[in-house]
Structure 1
Amino acid sequence: MASVVPPPAPGRELSNPPSDGISNLRFSNHSDHLLVSSWDKSVRLYDASANVLRGEFMHGGPVLDCCFHDDSSGFSAGADNTVRRLVFSSNKEDILGKHDAPVRCVEYSYAAGQLITGSWDKTLKCWDPRGASGQERTLVGTYPQPERVYSLSLVGHRLVVATAGRHVNVYDLRNMSQPEQRRESSLKYQTRCVRCYPNGTGYALSSVEGRVAMEFFDLSEASQAKKYAFKCHRKSEAGRDIVYPVNAIAFHPVYGTFATGGCDGFVNVWDGNNKKRLYQYSKYPTSIAALSFSRDGRLLAVASSYTFEEGPKQKEPDAIYVRSVNEIEVKPKPKVYPNPPA
């Protein structure tokens, strides 16, 4: 009888997790530090390898996103309409600027040296974080969007903005006067997450209806013929297809494969080029709210946090798991070609 290989353990659980829903988590590009934003109004800085809470910063309302600037500072955005700069050494923060509605997304561009924020006030704003604090001295520009901003992603000088109404705008940060491309999501339902491919050729987009679309920037017929969408994070029960939102996408920095996290509590790893699922981790206690690979791809941070898709209910405690990533889980398998006839 063949032995059954059990799925890998969920990973090490970080101590001192947030007390309410986790909105996002991000690994630093320079270390194993992890920044976590939460609906409990906090942003927490962890040393993920040592399992130590290094700092905590507070907003005036739920924090909806966070990102690193470098290993000494970061940024956060929240439902109190503010964008904040976090200084890790002093454990202090200051308000960089504001939107007219909750700020859903924050991304720092190393290529442009700017912070980009997207809000439910239907605008995108670019900031120069090197200036003195105060809105007027740091705001570079404000760019109207067709709807509320739901997700942002950067690769090089390219910025992808996904909004309500299934709109997708693609910008070049060197010329923000208008989008390079105005697109509509190829998925029929509300966008949940967008993430650019590490090689800069396109982006993956997920929806509330258990699907992911693989898109390409090049508008040539040959490139557009390569785009596709696939079903994931769903199951059949009593003859019915139960479909779960895909909340998170994270690309592996070395292999270009990617992980998805859904409201079914599962994390799947995919080889987008070969259209295959490489791995599925054992089920987490509740919905997967966010995912992030470390800079070298050795670690994967998983936010297991109930996302209220089914309404309020007694929920599992919010938890952050950090798992060591085995190469077999994320490395594409080589294609096997049949032997040519003699």
Structure 2
Amino acid sequence: MASAVAAATGQELSNPPSDGITNLRFSNHSDNLLVSSWDKTVRLYDASANVLRGEFMHAGPVLDCCFHDDSSGFSVAADNTVRRLVFSSNKEDILGRHDAPVRCVEYSYAAGQLITGSWDKTLKCWDPRGASGQERTLVGTYPQPERVYSLSLVGNRLVVATAGRHVNIYDLRNMSQPEQKRESSLKYQTRCVRCYPNGTGYALSSVEGRVAMEFFDLSEAIQAKKYAFKCHRKSEAGRDIVYPVNAIAYHPVYGTFATGGCDGYVNVWDGNNKKRLYQYSKYPTSIAALSFSRDGRLLAVASSYTFEEGPKTGLPFFEPDAIYVRSVNEIEVKPKPKVYPNPPARQLKPTSIEGHTIRS
């Protein structure tokens, strides 16, 4: 029975967080996995070996985390702090602070900077190479129209999604003002934004069970290609039940992407051909976060209740938080070639050239 469950969901990691998982990220250099949680910890796992390599304690719930390299990473928390994690010594230090809980963190290899987004309605860029202390590491502070909910990077481009359905697009080489200011094409609150790996646009998900596919190029021809689609929904007793789409993760090889919703399902999509490629077996509870490994062989899934039905204390039963690491088969993520229908047979008419009959 256990092996059948593992085949359906993937291997469950030992020593998971004890409270809601907020994010998980694979390293760009190994199968190390970084996990942030409401239990005030960041955990470092070797996902292939199913071993907990390190644990970092914080003063408040940890809302996001990311790698710098395989020797260090960063985390942000509800205690308003931005922290640097040193894996070899299992120690962390405070890099800087915001004036409210810090929701998002991304490290830009293109700019050599750390970017953090906070509920204080600001974006901050940091130079992590300097000594600890805000004055020596803060590069700039950039006001946002509302609380920052999600960030994504591709090359020098940064996409910032905030409350109020605002989307700001920046060039990291000139942060004085956004390149573009947009409003989400979805009607309700944004949950996640992720840039296309090819740098041409971004996917945006919301609480309404939809994903919007957007493009940076503002030309009429390119904007005509954008679209939105419904997902993570079901019909029950004649009515639609709609689930928030919490997570989006792109496959590093094929450019297809996975979405995770509060329905407990992970779906894989081919955005170019507007098709769903695969749906994995249902997980015990909401999908809080997703991450593909650097080579796309593994997919980490955070199955963690996201309070869409209220506090846990009001529920008769809830599943414990868990992290699953599943092997990815090519058939699940590789786009299928387009199959064109056979054209109708053309009626051929006799034609005479120099007394010879041919068919054209």
Q: How far off is 1:81 after superposition?
A: 0.1
Q: How far off is 1:175 after superposition?
A: 0.1
The 1:2–1:127 alpha-carbon spacing in structure 2 relative to 1, beyond 3 Å, is closer
Q: How far off is 1:44 after superposition?
A: 0.2
Counterpart Cα distance in 2 of 1:227 and 1:108: 28
Counterpart Cα distance in 2 of 1:280 and 1:341: 35
CA deviation map 1:38-63 (0-9, x unaligned): 00000000000000000000110000
CA deviation map 1:208-258 (0-9, x unaligned): 000000000000001000000000000000001000000000000000000
Counterpart Cα distance in 1 of 2:217 and 2:168: 14
CA deviation map 1:2-21 (0-9, x unaligned): 9999xxx1000000000000
The 1:139–1:4 alpha-carbon spacing in structure 2 relative to 1, beyond 3 Å, is closer
TM-score, with length taken from structure 1: 0.97
In structure 2, the residue corresponding to 1:182 is in which secondary structure? strand
Q: Structure 1: which 5+ runs fail to align? A: none
Counterpart Cα distance in 2 of 1:146 and 1:2: 49
In structure 2, the residue corresponding to 1:4 is in which secondary structure? helix
1:327 aligns with 2:326: no
Counterpart Cα distance in 2 of 1:304 and 1:267: 10
Q: How far off is 1:76 after superposition?
A: 0.1
CA deviation map 1:251-281 (0-9, x unaligned): 0000000000000000000000000000000
Counterpart Cα distance in 1 of 2:45 and 2:197: 25
Counterpart Cα distance in 1 of 2:106 and 2:57: 19
Counterpart Cα distance in 1 of 2:289 and 2:20: 11
1:104 is matched with 103
Matched ranges for 1:122-161 at <5 A: 122-161=121-160
CA deviation map 1:96-137 (0-9, x unaligned): 000000000000000000000000000000000001111000
Matched ranges for 1:154-303 at <5 A: 154-303=153-302
Q: How far off is 1:339 after superposition?
A: 2.9
Task: Give the structure with higher Rg (CA).
Answer: 2
CA deviation map 1:168-226 (0-9, x unaligned): 00000000000000000000000000000000000000000000000000000010000
Q: How far off is 1:337 after superposition?
A: 1.3
Q: How far off is 1:338 after superposition?
A: 2.2
Counterpart Cα distance in 2 of 1:286 and 1:324: 20
The 1:286–1:137 alpha-carbon spacing in structure 2 relative to 1, beyond 3 Å, is same
TM-score, with length taken from structure 2: 0.92
Q: How far off is 1:340 after superposition?
A: 3.7
Q: How far off is 1:341 after superposition?
A: 4.5
Counterpart Cα distance in 1 of 2:232 and 2:76: 29
Counterpart Cα distance in 2 of 1:58 and 1:215: 38
Q: How far off is 1:312 after superposition?
A: 1.6
RMSD: 2.6
Q: Percent identity?
A: 95
The 1:3–1:155 alpha-carbon spacing in structure 2 relative to 1, beyond 3 Å, is closer
